[in-house]
Structure 1
Amino acid sequence: MQNVLLNKVKTLEPVFQNRATAIFGGESSGILNWNDIKFPHWYKMYKRLLGNFWISDEVNMSSDVKQFPLLSEKEQDTYLKIISLLATLDSSQTRTILLTSLYSTDPSVQSILAVIAQQEAVHNESYSYILSSVVSLDKQNQAFDIGRKDPILLKRNKQLMEIYNAFAERPTIENIIKVLIYSTLLEGLFFYSGFAFFYNLARQNKMVGTSTMISYINRDELEHGRFISELIRATLAEHPEYNTTKFTNWVYDSFKKSVELEIEWSRYVLKDVEGIDLQEMAGFIKYRANKLLRMIGLSEYDDNYTENPMKWIRAYVDNFDRTKTDFFEQKSRSYTKVSDLNGFDEL
């Protein structure tokens, strides 16, 4: 099987038709007509992504400013470590999604990936905003350094970075598919120990501004994961030579390793955090992995975890798949522009 290097797609190729012949490695003029695309339902996905618009510095953080010094030393340390993790992941994801879009010959995919990359940039900016609200500049800089210095975090991210960098150095169809597989893991698995920590604080009425911001990020990531899983399936359908037993085994192996690393990370960063059962957390991670595998068309790797074992988190996570939930209806209450009336001068 040839693994030909792909060229970045040219801006315009007028000799080709507008509708793309393939997502990657195909032909298209580069002109996007949403009424004439290969996968028409992706327009609805594009619209859903746009509908999730939010701005980080319009989330009221005034109560978090007052509460952060009252958190335990363990809670403060975990808070900073997890923000560093999230920033590390979204920094790499912004660049990787943009890079992937440059090799797509389907202009509808280019547009959707552009929106996803923009939202990842918003997520990353939100972490800076969160930390600027609660700690000094020195502590902010120290927190962002954790992502490149903490040995457990480096170990956890090693395989992800290898896959992403391999694609950057050698853009082939195979490496694109592998990047998309790890993107589903990033969007749908690697964030969830961190999300759980902030949701756990919220159910104790702590750092609600932060958890509200995390809920918007969580909703975005679920939409990203949904599209990327469809992109994987469509790309494999167009390139069946890569849809092999060997590749399927690689996917399962990657998921197994990722689950193990995520459980190790959760035990490291969430140890002794009041309100979080690490055994439940491990089960939740396996449940998330099974859910992602089903989304890309594979069966569960561990059929003992087809239901969410972490009961309390359901209000924050499970229902996001239906988008409109009581938890998300808080947008009208909590996502209000910061002004003198709601505490901007207290930040």
Structure 2
Amino acid sequence: MEQTLLTLPAVNWNRPDDGYTKMFWDQNVRQFWVDEEIPLADDKLTWMTLSREEQRVYEQVLAGLTLLDTVQGSVGMPLLSQHIESLQAKAVLGFMGAMEHMHAKSYSSIFSTLCTSERIGELFEWVQKERLLQEKQQFVHQRYLGVRDSQSLYLGLAASVFLESFLFYSGFFYPLLLAGQGRMVSSGEIINLIIRDESIHGVYVGLQAQEVYARLPEAQQKTAREGVYRMLEHLAGLEERYSRMLYTPLELVESVITFSRYNADKALMNLGLEPYFGVSAEAVNPVVLAGLSTRTKNHDFFSTKGNGYVKAIRVEPLQDEDFIFEGLAQEYQPVTKRDGRVVPFDELRIVRAVEKAGDATGVVLDPALIEQHVLAPIKRKARHRQLHIEQIQDMVEEGLMHSYPAVARAYILYREERARRRGLA
């Protein structure tokens, strides 16, 4: 019997599907890296100085991360992308899925540098037998397989955000801690590159989830939101037990749990939801928190693959249009422009403006700090009242003063110059 094939459209990047997907494609491409670029052999001598217990924890956290990356690359991104209508969004999710496989492969490169073949085999057997680790992957796996309608798609996307922005971080803790102490620095560089990827993965999938959520009827929104917090509570319990199993011998359990919960709140922010644990940056181990920053690491000056200072080579001037918000999330009140027009709120406009300010001063910005000091305060107010564009710019200025004073000074000068020109016009 002859099978009838559907006619399909081709993805057309010349006509954007939305205001942000092309930007995320470009950022993914700029961040592309391969594990062979990192000189892992430099860690061999340091590895020999670690105790056997320290080596065990390091090996097992990387093995656990390998499993989660495998699930995300092989199941999560491919299945979720089937339920997203935008062909451009499908392309971005496909790219992100490929990078999840790159992450998994990079852990194998670390293993092959530091461990014997026999030990590597034992680690992958441990992955299959470790109950708590398998429970984590099974939980998110079920949410991916369970997508049937818009509400279950929202929960599937939320599970992906939790994986990218929360569940990975109990594994990231120890490599970040050692690298911050000047040990296992090259392997720590790979972790930092992976964190750069996971950061934008979590934000992008979170935006997709917010769009699905906005289309749900109000009653379903309430049910979906409650489902997300129930999911978080279950995963937080799993993370706590997993962290105790791994880290108790090193007396790091409470620090790891605090770090995980700090990132769980970041995952909720990616979904446009309120934090649950309320863990401040001050509560996190400062050495590990510094590992999340991209401002102080070495980098490759011929690309943007590294994670430190990148010299600005194409600086775009800030424009008032950068603060015109053409909506994603309907939960925010609209914004009033200087000419009295009212436009929808879009936090990505703020992100772009802040990035331009960073480029103008040659500073690479840490997304976590920008979220904490700039975006979060604005979004809290925008949920309850209509803001004027000048109020938003005042809040951007204040947030930058707390996080990046040099960028704030450049931004203040820009605003003064724009005001002077309007006065002359």
Q: TM over 0.5: same fold?
A: yes
Q: What residue in structure 1 maps to residue 94 of structure 2?
A: 114
Provide the identity percentage: 23
| Greater Rg over alpha carbons, structure | 2
Deviation at 1:87, TM superposition (A): 0.8
1:178 and 2:155 are equivalent in the alignment:
yes
Letter paired with 2:273: L
CA–CA distance in structure 2, aligned partners of residues 141 and 242 of structure 1: 50
Structure 1 148/63 Cα, relative in aligned 2: closer, same or farther at 3 Å? Answer: same
1:104 and 2:103 are equivalent in the alignment:
no
Q: Which has the higher contact order (CA 8 A, sep 6+)?
A: 1
Deviation at 1:45, TM superposition (A): 1.2
Unmatched segments (≥5 aa) in structure 1:
1-9, 14-28, 337-347
Instruction: Encode CA deviations 1:50-77: one digit per residue, 9 max, x unaligned.
Output: 1111111221011222332331111111
Q: What residue in structure 1 maps to residue 130 of structure 2?
A: 150
Q: What residue in structure 2 maps to residue 287 of structure 1?
A: 262
1:69 and 2:70 are equivalent in the alignment:
no
Superposition misfits of 4+ residues, deviation over 6 angstroms: none
Structure 1 12/94 Cα, relative in aligned 2: closer, same or farther at 3 Å? Answer: farther
CA–CA distance in structure 2, aligned partners of residues 260 and 205 of structure 1: 32
Is the CA contact 2:172–2:191 (under 8 Å) kept in the aligned structure 1?
A: yes
CA–CA distance in structure 1, aligned partners of residues 6 and 247 of structure 2: 47
Letter paired with 1:73: R
Is the CA contact 2:170–2:259 (under 8 Å) kept in the aligned structure 1?
A: no
Is the CA contact 2:80–2:144 (under 8 Å) kept in the aligned structure 1?
A: no
Q: What residue in structure 2 maps to residue 265 of structure 1?
A: 242
Q: What residue in structure 2 maps to residue 316 of structure 1?
A: 291
Is the CA contact 2:42–2:186 (under 8 Å) kept in the aligned structure 1?
A: yes
Is the CA contact 1:90–1:120 (under 8 Å) kept in the aligned structure 2?
A: yes
Structure 1 210/38 Cα, relative in aligned 2: closer, same or farther at 3 Å? Answer: same
Instruction: Encode CA deviations 1:265-317: one digit per residue, 9 max, x unaligned.
Output: 1122122327x4x32332222221122212212112233x2445112222111
Structure 1 12/124 Cα, relative in aligned 2: closer, same or farther at 3 Å? Answer: farther
Q: What residue in structure 2 maps to residue 58 of structure 1?
A: 37
TM (norm. structure 1) is 0.79
Is the CA contact 1:290–1:306 (under 8 Å) kept in the aligned structure 2?
A: no
CA–CA distance in structure 1, aligned partners of residues 158 and 219 of structure 2: 13
Q: What residue in structure 1 maps to residue 193 of structure 2?
A: 216
SS in 2 for 1:47: helix
Is the CA contact 1:84–1:145 (under 8 Å) kept in the aligned structure 2?
A: no
User: What does 1:1-347 align with in structure 2 at a 5 Å threshold?
Assistant: 12-13=7-8, 29=9, 31-95=10-74, 96-167=76-147, 171-240=148-217, 243-273=220-250, 276=252, 278-303=253-278, 305-310=279-284, 311-317=286-292, 319-320=293-294, 325-327=295-297, 329-332=298-301
Is the CA contact 2:59–2:123 (under 8 Å) kept in the aligned structure 1?
A: yes
Aligned length: 298
Q: What residue in structure 2 maps to residue 20 of structure 1?
A: none
CA–CA distance in structure 2, aligned partners of residues 280 and 64 of structure 1: 25
CA–CA distance in structure 1, aligned partners of residues 84 and 267 of structure 2: 23
SS in 2 for 1:271: helix
Unmatched segments (≥5 aa) in structure 2:
307-425
